[in-house]
Amino acid sequence: QVQLVQSGVEVKKPGASVMVSCKASGYTFTTYGLSWVRQAPGQGLEWMGWISTYNHKTNYAQKVQGRVTMTTDTSTSTAYMELRSLRSDDTAVYYCARVAWEPADGFDFWGQGTLVIVSS
């Protein structure tokens, strides 16, 4: 069965960086793209970016462009999302999500989420 298992809670100070991992299993990793979505406390879902697990091409949302880097390690079927220059409004649950075979269909499987707290 498809599973996306994310790394644990992170607490960071403003200005620091955080890296969240997402380990995939149950399917061929390089066949499906991955997206990252975040959700601030009590707020809605915000798409952050996408990475092709096949050729490592990326596309980032304008809001985080310049601060975010998404990568993958195909040898371990793991995706990573690094966010730099953290601010208090980056406090959120960060999700990785598998992009469906047809990308227009959406995100068919999700990780359990990783809480990132940014606080001095």
Partner 1 sequence: EIVLTQSPGTLSLSPGERATLSCRTSQRVSSSYLAWYQQKPGQAPRFLIYGASRRATGIPDRFSGSGSGTDFTLTISRLEPEDFAVYYCQQYGDSPTWTFGQGTKVEIK
Q: Binding residues for partner 1, per CB under 8 A? A: 35, 37, 44-47, 50, 59, 61, 95, 97, 99-100, 103-113
Mind spelling out the 3-state secondary structure of 53-106? CCCCCEEECCCCCCCEEEEEECCCCEEEEEECCCCHHHCEEEEEEEECCCHHHC
Closest distance to partner 1 from the beta carbon of 98 (Å): 9
Which residues, 6+ apart, have CB-to-CB distance to 53 below 8 Å? 29, 30, 31, 32, 33, 34, 72, 74, 79
Helix (H, G, I), strand (E, B) or coil at 18: strand
Cβ-based nearer residue to partner 1, 27 or 47: 47
CB of 90 to partner 1, least distance (A): 18
